[in-house]
Amino acid sequence: MAGVVASLALSVAITVMVASFRDAVADWLDSVLPADLYARSTGNSAAADQAVLPPGFADLAARLPGVTRVIASRMVPLVLDPQQPAVVLMARPLGADAAAALPLLGDTVPATAGELGVFVSEPAAAIYGWRVGQQIRLPIPGAAPGADDGGVLVRVRGIWRDYARQFGAVMMDAVDYQRLTGDRRINDLALWLAPGAAPAAVQAALQRAAGPDRPLDMASTAALRQLSLKIFDRSFAVTLYLQAVAIGVGLVGVAASLSAQVLARRKEFGLLAHLGLTRRQVIALVGAEAAAWLAAGTLIGLGLGLAMAVVLVHVVNPQSFHWTMPLQIPVPRLAALAGAVLAAGVATALWSARRAAGRSAVMAVKEDW
């Protein structure tokens, strides 16, 4: 049953890892997408300096019919290490309660008068070895002359979970960023809509306000969440095929092993037939033995798979992608997986057992006479 144990353990480990990651991403999306509608200038983080919204656009959007609240964000790429991809500096209003605006991990340090505080993403903290309370220097473009060549001295107030930017991000309050650089440009808008407001009408009004020369990318929270999870499921769709291949290999091993045992035990089955066991009873005997072995292999495979999943979630994933997530065990899915393997194994055993009750088994006993 080693093949069944190995294949089931691999399938269980992959299932638990993917389920844990998906649940973590879903919870993270709920915390980072609190608004009803999001709009941004067409572009990406690498071209954030050029892809900006018109001056005063946030105030104009706040006065549109159906809009009750607007939060603007500014994104600037920071090159901290020439050997590493750029980190994204994000400036937006955080307010007094940063925990309400960011999915923070662990403890935070309070803001200190006369000192700049930032929040760093989990990947950034892992890549650069930053810790909560540590003072670091950031090469912020356009910083005031008071900053030396080493960059602006800031203190890490906390670490927040970010699954969108694998190479790290730094969050700074928009007031601090504007006071430091004088840059009042914005890239993104988060809009809260009044009850009953039509998102399509607000989107059309936003595009008219931006003008035909500044196309906007706009989407509702539900659309962004659905698109993100769809991309996630598409990215991990290959794991389903890996599980099918692993289980198929395990079942082939079961069939080969049982076939070999049937050939080796032909005399035993022939003797049972001479003692009065019917063909159906011999098949049931072989099937029951195989089911007992498969049940033991399934339990061992589940245990080993869960142990492998703990290593994947808490060791391999943080080391490879600098992301952490809580371990989620999808009990119904694992039960269905184990049941399918057990049922398929028993069916394979019964198919192999049909050879045990054939005429060759009876003739094998006759050969010894």
Q: What confidence category does residue 157 fall into, taking pLDDT thresholds of 50, 70 and 90?
A: very high
Residues whose CB is less than 8 angstroms from the CB of residue 208 and which lie 6 or more positions away in sequence, other chains included: none
Question: What's the confidence (pLDDT) of residue 224?
Answer: 92
| CA-wise closest residue to 338 among 233, 243, 242 | 243
Report yes or no: 20 and 327 within 8 Å, Cβ to Cβ.
yes
Q: Is the pLDDT of residue 171 over 90?
A: yes
**Residue labelled with tokens 């969050």:** 171
Q: What confidence category does residue 366 fall into, taking pLDDT thresholds of 50, 70 and 90?
A: low
What are the two backbone dihedrals, phi and then psi, of residue 289, each rounded to the nearest 5 degrees?
-60, -45
- The 10s digit of each residue's pLDDT in 41-67 is 775 444 545 678 888 899 999 999 999
> Across all residues in the chain, what is the average pLDDT?
84
Q: Is 117 helix (H, G, I), strand (E, B) or coil?
A: strand
Distance CA 330, CA 90 (A): 35
298-to-11, 230, 302, 339 alpha-carbon distances in Å = 11, 31, 6, 9
Question: What's the confidence (pLDDT) of residue 361?
Answer: 53
Burial class for 121, CB neighbours closer than 10 Å (0-12, 13-18, 19+)? buried
Higher pLDDT: 97 or 232? It is 232
Question: What's the confidence (pLDDT) of residue 148?
Answer: 53
Question: What's the confidence (pLDDT) of residue 45?
Answer: 46
Q: Is 302 helix (H, G, I), strand (E, B) or coil?
A: helix
| CA-wise closest residue to 185 among 57, 89, 301, 21 | 57
What are the two backbone dihedrals, phi and then psi, of residue 158, each rounded to the nearest 5 degrees?
-175, 170
Domain extent listing, the chain: 2-25+234-366, 43-214
Question: What's the confidence (pLDDT) of residue 268?
Answer: 77
Q: Is the pLDDT of residue 355 over 80?
A: no
- Length of the chain counted residue by residue: 369
Question: What's the confidence (pLDDT) of residue 323?
Answer: 86
DSSP string, 262-277: HHHTHHHHHHHHHTT-
7-to-2, 298, 329 alpha-carbon distances in Å = 9, 10, 18
Mean pLDDT is lowest, of 91-105, 134-148, 210-224, for 134-148
- The 10s digit of each residue's pLDDT in 80-97 is 888 888 999 999 998 777
Q: Tokens at residue 322, please?
A: 């600098």
Q: What number is the average pLDDT over the span 75-79?
A: 90
Report yes or no: 258 and 352 within 8 Å, Cβ to Cβ.
yes
Q: What number is the average pLDDT over the span 184-196?
A: 91
Q: Tokens at residue 166, please?
A: 């694998």
Report yes or no: 65 and 74 within 8 Å, Cβ to Cβ.
no
Q: Tokens at residue 255, please?
A: 């069939």
Question: What's the confidence (pLDDT) of residue 102?
Answer: 87
Question: What's the confidence (pLDDT) of residue 272?
Answer: 77
Q: Is 41 helix (H, G, I), strand (E, B) or coil?
A: strand
**What Rg do the C-alpha atoms of the chain give, in angstroms?**
31
Percent with pLDDT over 90 in the chain: 38
The enclosing H or E element of 189 equals: strand 188-193
Q: What number is the average pLDDT over the span 274-298?
A: 83
Q: What number is the average pLDDT over the span 61-79?
A: 92
- The 10s digit of each residue's pLDDT in 105-145 is 888 888 887 888 999 999 999 999 999 999 999 998 877 65
Q: Tokens at residue 96, please?
A: 């007094």
Distance CA 359, CA 266 (A): 10
Distance CA 326, CA 24 (A): 7
Higher pLDDT: 126 or 4? It is 126
Q: Is the pLDDT of residue 253 over 80?
A: no
Question: What's the confidence (pLDDT) of residue 314?
Answer: 92
Percent with pLDDT over 70 in the chain: 92
Mean pLDDT is lowest, of 16-20, 291-295, 298-302, for 291-295
Residue 201 DSSP class: H
Report yes or no: 353 and 258 within 8 Å, Cβ to Cβ.
yes
Q: Tokens at residue 217, please?
A: 């990318």
Q: What number is the average pLDDT over the span 334-349?
A: 84
